[in-house]
Amino acid sequence: MGGTTEFFEIETTASQESFDISDRVKDVVARSGIARGLCQVIVLHSTCAIVLNETADPNIGKDVLRALGEVFPERDDWLHNLKDDNAASHLRASVLGPSEVIPIVDGELLLGKWQEVWLFEFDGPRARRVAVHLVEG
């Protein structure tokens, strides 16, 4: 089984925001020439997440950020805040997770009608690195 990995960066501009990165991931798959296999998208930071969801309505991203803010509010008593004042960001990212694995079928990502690839930022603004790892097979 052969594989390849490409990287790209996203400059975030706010403390929390969401991005549709589907086109960038799809471009990597298209350039690879892989007809069948797996695509893993992983953000290489512990206060970001990768999620599959609808991107046609950007309010989904805003709703996710709002809901996670209610579940994991900014508080002074998170233990990690004693070291680095971003515990809520780590908790939010941990719940969603850093990566998704998507099948490649006939040279394209196998996604549902409304599914696309989101990157969620919880501790910006920062430069964020994303890896797209492809495995043929």
Distance CA 43, CA 72 (A): 21
Residue ranges of the chain with per-residue pLDDT less than 50: none
Question: pLDDT (tens digit, 9 = 90+) per residue, 20-44?
Answer: 999 999 999 999 999 999 999 999 9
Percent of the residues in the chain that have a pLDDT greater than 90, as a whole number: 85
Phi, psi of 49 (to 5 degrees): -145, 160
Q: What is the total count of domains within the chain?
A: 1
pTM (2 decimals)? 0.93
Which residues neighbour 91 within 8 Å (Cβ) at sequence distance 6 or greater? Answer: 72, 78
Res 1: pLDDT = 59
Question: Phi and psi for 21 in degrees, rounded to 5?
Answer: -110, 15
How many CA atoms lie less than 13 Å away from 51 in the CB half-sphere?
22
Q: What is the CATH number of the domain that holds 19?
A: 2.60.120.460
Enclosing domain of residue 94: 3-136
Quick one: which of 68, 29, 58, 51 has its CA closest to 115? Answer: 51
